[in-house]
């Protein structure tokens, strides 16, 4: 029971961002919150599957500091992103903007959905029972005989 | 479905597995030679001039530092190499940089997040390929170049435009297959 409580407490705790050392945080709480939200949109180029807010790599820390500097300097979120985008390209944004180069990436869910629907339709058409040929003369006679033996159906 | 196409369908998984195997083998082989790096990210700086920067020298190196203006002043292709004494792949690529320097191709170095005394020790031990050498201890200029690790090497052509960037050690294969043809044209 106690273990369960501890586990629940761990699950319930707010997203821990232990890597942001207090000294790096902005004194203004709303600006810091903005910086964190922005940082979660920026890819750590070294670890590649983490945001800079989640990574302990020194480049991620440098980028966290840059995000905060730009915010203090009065940049909008879009300006901060374009600052990093100019240096690191689409890959630095965890939500890449649409371009023809990554159109295939954006189209993948739609393509997968259409392909799945197509497969289902195909499978259903195959599974449909073939139309039965009409009864032959002999079969019809046998059926009539069975009906007489069982008595008329309700 | 005819018998032939049914038999071909049976072979399809084998064919797919064979194609996959050939693909994976090629990818692994190209990874070993350094031609292919699955973690490689295309540089956003290709086709653009280098960022504006000035950097201090590596103290006691006796090598003049450089900034963006010095790159433009060369008037020919320049190789800009971000490196560090703590970087192991930098040791792998070092002989290739030495070779370029011996051939008279200007190789400019930027020591990234490195203490000057450590940079100096590295150069004394392995030799100095750098015609100019600057120090970027905070790593901020590197970020302006779009550097995300060391070693990283850029080729700036005679018009002062970045034509090529390679993240990772310059192996003899990379030198021969990628950098040489570009140097001839840059």
ipTM of the complex: 0.81
Which range of residues forms the domain containing residue B10? Answer: 1-32
B120 and B167 in a single domain? The answer is yes
Over range B1-25, report the average pLDDT: 87
Contact A66 B39 (CB under 8 A): no
B22 and B84 in a single domain? The answer is no
Tell me how many domains chain B contains. 2
Is B121 part of a structural domain of the chain? yes
Is B43 part of a structural domain of the chain? no
B94 and B24 in a single domain? The answer is no
Chain A residues close to B145, C-beta within 8 Å: 87
User: What pLDDT is recorded for position A11?
Assistant: 59
B83 and B3 in a single domain? The answer is no
Check CB contact of B35 with chain A, cutoff 8 Å: no
Among the partner-chain residues A48, A66, A91, the one whose CB lies closest to the CB of B143 is A66
**pLDDT, tens digit, for every residue of A137-154?**
888 888 888 877 776 555
Is B128 part of a structural domain of the chain? yes
Contact A48 B39 (CB under 8 A): yes
* Entry pTM: 0.76
B89 and B3 in a single domain? The answer is no
Is B20 part of a structural domain of the chain? yes
CA distance A117 to chain B (A): 22
Check CB contact of A49 with chain B, cutoff 8 Å: no
B98 and B23 in a single domain? The answer is no
B86 and B178 in a single domain? The answer is yes
Over range B125-143, report the average pLDDT: 96
Contact B148 A45 (CB under 8 A): yes
Is B159 part of a structural domain of the chain? yes
B85 and B24 in a single domain? The answer is no
Contact A62 B140 (CB under 8 A): yes
B95 and B15 in a single domain? The answer is no
Contact B44 A87 (CB under 8 A): yes
Check CB contact of B75 with chain A, cutoff 8 Å: no
Contact A46 B145 (CB under 8 A): no
User: What pLDDT is recorded for position A104?
Assistant: 85
Query: Nearest 5 degrees, angle CA B127-CA B89-CA B23?
Result: 140
Give domain limits for chain A: 14-97, 100-129
Domain covering A14-97 assigned CATH 3.30.365.10 in the classification? no
Chain B residue closest to A87 (CA)? B146
Is B96 part of a structural domain of the chain? yes
Interface probe, candidates A47, A88, A93, A99, chain B, greatest B C-beta count within 10 A: A88
* H, E, C per residue of chain A: CHHHHHHHHHHHCCCCCCCCCHHHCCCCHHHHHHHHHHHCCEECCCCCCCECCCCCCHHHHHHHHHHHHHHHCCCCHHHHHHHHHHHHCHHHECCCCCCHHHHHHHHHHHHHHHHHHHHHHHHHHHHCCCCCCCCCHHHHHHHHHHHHHHCCCC
User: The domain spanning residue B151 has which CATH number?
Assistant: 3.40.30.10
Over range B126-139, report the average pLDDT: 96
Is B7 part of a structural domain of the chain? yes
**pLDDT, tens digit, for every residue of A9-40?**
655 554 545 455 777 888 899 999 999 999 99
Check CB contact of B146 with chain A, cutoff 8 Å: yes
| Chain B 8-27, residues with CB within 8 Å of chain A CB atoms | none
């Amino acid at each position: 029971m106690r273990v369960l409580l501890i586990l629940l407490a761990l699950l319930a705790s707010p997203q821990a961002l232990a890597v942001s050392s207090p000294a790096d945080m902005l004194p203004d709480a709303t600006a810091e919150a903005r910086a964190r939200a922005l940082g979660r949109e920026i890819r750590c180029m070294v670890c590649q599957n983490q945001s800079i807010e989640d990574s302990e790599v020194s480049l991620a820390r440098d980028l966290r500091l840059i995000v905060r500097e730009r915010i203090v300097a009065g940049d909008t979120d879009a300006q901060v992103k374009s600052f990093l985008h100019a240096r690191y390209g689409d890959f630095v944004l965890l939500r890449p903007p649409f371009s023809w180069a990554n159109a295939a990436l954006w189209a993948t869910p739609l393509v997968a959905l259409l392909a799945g629907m197509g497969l289902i339709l195909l499978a259903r058409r195959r599974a449909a029972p073939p139309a039965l040929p009409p009864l032959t003369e002999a079969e019809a006679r046998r059926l009539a005989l069975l009906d007489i033996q069982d008595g008329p159906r309700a | 479905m005819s018998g032939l196409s049914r038999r071909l369908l049976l072979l399809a998984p084998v064919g797919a597995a064979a194609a996959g195997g050939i693909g994976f083998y090629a990818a692994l082989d190209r990874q070993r030679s350094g031609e292919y790096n699955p973690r490689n990210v295309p540089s956003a700086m290709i086709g653009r001039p280098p960022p504006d920067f000035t950097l201090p020298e590596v103290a006691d190196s006796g090598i003049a530092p450089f900034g963006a203006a010095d790159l433009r002043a060369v008037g020919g292709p320049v190789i800009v190499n971000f490196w560090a004494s703590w970087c192991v792949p930098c040791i792998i690529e070092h002989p290739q940089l030495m070779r370029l320097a011996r051939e008279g191709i200007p190789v400019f170095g930027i020591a990234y997040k490195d203490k000057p005394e450590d940079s100096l020790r590295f150069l004394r031990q392995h030799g100095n390929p750098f015609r100019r050498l600057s120090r970027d201890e905070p790593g901020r200029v590197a970020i302006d170049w779009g550097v995300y690790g060391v070693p990283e090497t850029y080729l700036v052509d005679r018009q002062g435009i970045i034509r090529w960037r390679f993240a990772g050690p310059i192996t003899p294969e990379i030198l021969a297959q990628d950098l040489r043809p570009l140097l001839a044209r840059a």
